[in-house]
Structure 1
Amino acid sequence: MANLFPDDIGWSSSDSGTTTDSEVKFGRSWRFDYEAGDFIMTPTRKVAAAGEKEAWVQWCRKALLTPRYRYVIYSRNHGQEIDDLIGRGYSKAVQESEIQRIVTETLMVDPRTASVSNFAFTWVDDTCSFSCTITNVREESETIDGRADA
């Protein structure tokens, strides 16, 4: 009878589960102005290109602006669920903890993202503004902002 549990499954003890820069592809993208809601144009009226780091940062910003499960075009792994958190009557400490968890889970989906840290929260009435530091596998960092409205 065949063994249900194979002896050699191909795992190496040297595989630490971490991703390195050489394994992750950084691509380019188009520059986008999120405040204006339009692509950034060059003086010759061509869409401006974003470098590899800027393309990754733009992906992170876009992921934080996109509600998860709302648009069929995006996979179920893309976007955030902060809207589901607001209005539930949780304390500010619980909301901050959940925002930190949701943002981290949202951004860590991308293999280019190595970590999300240094969260800072500011409350004005029922609106929570936050910022965090994102670091990619090349150890390049950027601070991004977000907001959760009640």
Structure 2
Amino acid sequence: MPNLFPDDIGWSGADGAGTTDAEVTFGRSWRFDFEAGDFIMTPTRKVAAADEKEAWVQWCKKALLTPRYRHVIYSRNHGQEFDDLIGRGYSKAVQESEIQRIVTETLMVDPRTASVRNFVFTWADDACSFSCSITNVREESENIEGRTDA
């Protein structure tokens, strides 16, 4: 009978330690314009391809735009949980801490992501905009932005 509790589960750790570029597959994707809500087309009316880094950055942006558990097509690990902050009456400091935790957990699900840091928060009434720096296992960095109406 197979062992239900294997000795070696092969985890690299929650922080991605031990993961190298050789072990992580970077794939290509199609370029997407998040403001227009449509794919970017080439002059010949074909969908433009994104390189490996751009595909990873687009995945990160999409994950931050997708509410977790709302769409059956995504796994339970995909998306963010900003809705849990709305209407709770938390202080801005607590909300910023929670946003940082949620964003980090959301993006670290992808094995290509090595770190999420350098958060900057901007408040306008009850809406919080933020930016952060993301780094992949190839040590390529990018700044991304997000928003929550907490």
Structure 1 length-normalised TM: 0.89
Residue correspondence of structure 1 range 129-140 to structure 2 within 5 A: 129-140=129-140
Residue correspondence of structure 1 range 4-83 to structure 2 within 5 A: 9=7, 17-83=17-83
Structure 2 Cα separation of the partners of residues 86 and 10 of structure 1: 41
Aligned to 1:96: 96
Q: Which runs of 4+ in 1 moved over 4 A?
A: none
* Alpha-carbon shift at residue 18 of structure 1 (Å): 1.5
Aligned to 2:128: 128
Aligned to 1:116: 116
Opposite residue 99 of structure 2, the aligned amino acid is I
Opposite residue 30 of structure 1, the aligned amino acid is W
Opposite residue 70 of structure 2, the aligned amino acid is R
- Secondary structure of the 2:55 match is helix
* Alpha-carbon shift at residue 10 of structure 1 (Å): 5.9
Structure 2 Cα separation of the partners of residues 57 and 28 of structure 1: 11
Structure 2 Cα separation of the partners of residues 68 and 10 of structure 1: 30
Classify 1:85/1:41 alpha carbon distance in 2 versus 1 (closer, same or farther; 3 Å): same
* Alpha-carbon shift at residue 17 of structure 1 (Å): 4.5
Which structure has more RCO (C-alpha within 8 Å, separation ≥ 6)? 2
Structure 2 length-normalised TM: 0.89
- Secondary structure of the 1:93 match is helix
Structure 1 Cα separation of the partners of residues 54 and 90 of structure 2: 35
Instruction: Answer with 1 or 2: which has the greater Rg.
Output: 1
Gaps of 5+ in 1: 1-8
Q: Percent identity?
A: 84
- Secondary structure of the 1:99 match is helix
Aligned positions, number = 140
Gaps of 5+ in 2: 1-6
